Structure 1
Amino acid sequence: MSSSESDNEVLMLLNSSDDSSDDTRSNRVYKTRINYYSELDNQEFQLRFRLDKQSVQLLLGEIYPFLKVKGTRNHGISPLHQLLLTLRFYALGTMLLSVADFIGVSKASACRTVRDVSNAIAQLYSKYIYMHSDTEQDFYAVSRFPRVLGALDGTHIRIQSPCSQIGEEFRNRKGYFSLNVQAVCNADLLFMNVVTRWPGSAHDATIFNNSDLRAQCENGSFGNKWLLGDSAYPLKPYLLTPLINTQTRGEQLYNEAHIRTRNCIERCFGVWKRRFPVVALTLRLSLLRANAVIIATAVLHNICRLKKLDDISPEVEIPEADVSPTESSTEETFSTERANLIAEYFHKLLFCYITTLIYKILPTCALTYSYFFLISVYED
């Protein structure tokens, strides 16, 4: 057999093997991708993606530099479809496969897209989440509590167990795995600070004591303003907590005003979780991706509040918040600041309130006697 004939036989074998592999290889199927931006009206669009069309367009322009696939060449996922897929995942908090089918991509592509877009939106943290300096008047309008910088609290975001080695660190006192997320908001329910890296077993005071926010407060970065926290936090000159046992009416007024004003952070958490149920249900992602999703949805929450978008009811059932006793802090130092506030402000606030009430109710003939009687009681 000549060398040329042997070469031909080799080529025939190679070709036959290639043909057989092509016959057994399944053809790649590309799913149809619907352009929901043009197909849906603004109301239906906002119902499914939690943001209106204008906000999505502006957000897309901001995150575009951080996205990896920026075109549809080789059937790549367009930036708009990437963003809509991620927003749909935030709105449902369901399995990635369901979101992938909704957009028309594979589950693996959906997983990568959620990761990339969440990281891109999280890059906008410093632009949309920062400590505001003009919070005093808005908080004062809530319940006449003066010099309030922000309302501080923590909330548990459910996650799946990270792994057997460190999983128990993330089991909180309520019995499920979570991340303990600390946040500060203003009276308009805008996040001003969000910390997401702590496991569910971490105490609220531990998170605050190890945060940059505490260092900024102790350095006097925010002047003589106060954060308001519940009894799980330590009492500090810049962090006021409620009184456990009230003795005077002034102390009762302090507690009532404190609770009403600090309730802003509870409302903020509620609005955030209703708009983006992914943080109200169980996050079935790795820790890094879960952190990115939490920060990204906090950024989107602020965008919605700034653009005054209407709150949208969730499409899925949100579990009621777990109710459990608040962990108390044993630290009772720096009580002078709180005591002075009660004595010099809330006690006098009660006196002014009663005096005003007397002017409105009592006739002129009884006003002088009642006024001096009230002064004598107050001085006693």
Structure 2
Amino acid sequence: MEIINVENDNSARNRMILRRCNYFELLNDRQFQSRFRLTKLQFEEILQKIEPILRQRQRKDEIAPVIQLLVAIRFYATGCFLQVAADFCGISSKSAQLIVHRISPAIADLFNQYISLPKTDEELMRTTKDNFLIAGMIRVIGAIDCVHVRIRSYGGEDAELWRNRKGFFSLNVQCVVNSHLEIMDLVVRWPGSTHDSTIFANSRLKHRFDHFECGNGILLGDRGYANHRYLITPLANPTTPAEILYNEAHIRTRNMVERCFGIWGRTFAVLTIGSRFTTPERTINVIFATAVLYNIIRRDKKTARAGMQNYLQIPEVFSPPTEDERQFLINNYFEREKSTYSTPEQQIAPNGGGFSG
């Protein structure tokens, strides 16, 4: 970045002009990815989708869309002050602020293209098979949990609604994650004081499962949720070999949501450092935007495990809709599978790793 000082005889101070840098052209792919988290191909994919929107509102002398996207992603990746992101690309801090609040909703609008639950029977079968490969848990569509994204207090009479049980201000964000650590569903609107089960009870996700839109698939949740037909939780005190085996499979499979939180937060540090925006809408747009970018990165990192699906036979255990799904699985599936389980010491505890779970 080149800095040009311009002397002004009529002023007591000098003007500093920053030469704009197009890092997409200056850096090779490895250097670009280390600074912006995305590869150049992934960056071009996003740019092609949002450029028409940006050009509709662009003035003749406005900053080029490629520079705008670079500024926004650099801000997401580092969580830095807008002045730092502005200096990095050679623009003013005011321009950086306007750009971030213009780019974030544009990327967030791509939500439905990159974040969705399985829509067809084939997609549903592929997802449950991938999840089965983790620890032998059948019919699992995904793991559900909430994570706290740190914010600055918005003030006003309702300011304390945003303070969570850990004592800091946050948005409580609900996610559903699959075995590839991709986000399949996202709810971003609840203040930090809201309990996880309340968010789920008022979500469109619950409505979809209530109306059997995901077949006989199930979600895995922690003990913060109520045990339900389609959302099963671990046992508090497993005693029999079948119950211990169920808990192990549940914990190991549900761990994918904790791993997702850890990687998502490390990839886009703005989530861990916390936003300094003055309204929740601006923070919400940034969270959605980083989720879209995160899923693009994860999509290109899928492992070769999918190739095993053609040879994998998953046991079919169908329970009546009125049954206690958790107990039914323990009695009719894990009781049968307990011969592969030896001692309780084999139980694997979750690793964790979220930014503020």
TM-score (norm 2): 0.82
Measure how far apart 1:118 and its partner are: 0.5
Could you say which residue in structure 1 is the equivalent of 2:297? Answer: 304
* Matched residue count: 309
1:162 Cα deviation (Å)?
Answer: 0.8
Percent identity at matched positions?
45
CA contact (8 A) 2:104 2:285 kept: yes
Contact 1:70 1:79 in 2 (8 A): no
- In structure 1, distance between residues paired with 2:70 and 2:107: 13
1:197 CA displacement = 0.2
Contact 2:245 2:341 in 1 (8 A): no
SS in 2 for 1:152: strand
Q: 2:18 aligns with which of 3, 26, 31?
A: 31
Q: Distance in 2 between matches of 1:70 and 1:84?
A: 18
SS across alignment from 2:172: strand
| Greater RCO, 1 or 2 (C-alpha within 8 Å, sep 6+) | 2
Q: How does 1:203-352 map to 2 (within 5 A)?
A: 203-285=195-277, 286-308=279-301, 336-351=324-339
CA distance in 2, matches of 1:238, 1:309: 26
| Counterpart code for 1:141 | L
Q: Please tell me the root mean square deviation across aligned C-alpha atoms, in Å.
A: 2.2
2:34 pairs with 14, 35, 47, which one? 47
Question: Mind listing any 5+ residue stretches in structure 2 that lack a counterpart?
Answer: 1-9, 119-123, 304-321, 343-357
Quick check: 1:129–1:191 contact (8 Å CA) kept in 2? yes
- Contact 2:180–2:302 (8 Å) recurs in 1: no
> How far apart, in 2, do the equivalents of 1:71 and 1:165 lie?
38
Given the alignment, which residue of 80, 99, 103 partners 2:66? 80
C-alpha separation in 1, matches of 2:323 and 2:194: 25
How far off its partner does 1:353 sit? Answer: 5.6
Aligned ranges for residues 63-78 of structure 1 at < 5 Å?
A: 63-67=50-54, 73-74=60-61, 76-78=62-64
Q: In the alignment, is residue 57 of structure 1 matched against residue 57 of structure 2?
A: no
Secondary structure of the residue that 2:142 maps to in structure 1?
strand
Q: 1:335 to 1:97 in 2, by over 3 A?
A: farther
C-alpha displacement of 1:234: 1.3
SS of equivalent residue, structure 2 residue 184: strand
Secondary structure of the equivalent of 1:280?
Answer: helix
| Contact 1:152/1:182 (8 A) holds in 2 | yes
Gaps of 5+ in 1: 1-22, 311-333, 355-380
Aligned residues of 1:70 and 1:78 also touching (Cα < 8 A)? no
- Residue identity in the other structure for 2:130: D
In structure 2, the residue matched to 1:357 is none
2:117 alignment partner in structure 1? 131
Matched residue of 1:183: which SS? strand
The Cα shift of 1:34 comes to 1.0
More helix by share: 1
Residue 118 of structure 1 aligns with an amino acid whose one-letter code is: S
2:98 is aligned with 1:112: yes
| Residues 156 and 179, structure 1, Cα contact 8 Å, conserved in 2 | yes
2:209 maps to a residue whose letter is C
- Residue matched to 1:191: 183
Partner of 1:159: 151
> Cα deviation per residue 1:93-134 (whole Å; 9 max; x = unaligned)?
011111011111111111110011110000100000000223
SS, match of residue 73 in structure 1: coil
CA-CA distance at 1:53 after TM superposition: 1.0
Q: Secondary structure at the match of 1:179?
A: strand
Deviation of 1:135 after TM superposition, in Å, equals: 1.1
Larger Rg: 1
From the superposition, tell whether residues 26 and 77 of structure 1 become closer, same or farther in structure 2 (CA, over 3 Å): farther
Structure 2 residue identity aligned to 1:345:
Y
Q: TM-score, normalised by structure 1?
A: 0.77
Residues 22-51 of structure 1, C-alpha deviations (whole Å, 9 max, x = no match): x67999865310121111111111111111
**Do the aligned residues in 2 keep the contact of 1:136 with 1:146 (CA within 8 Å)?**
yes
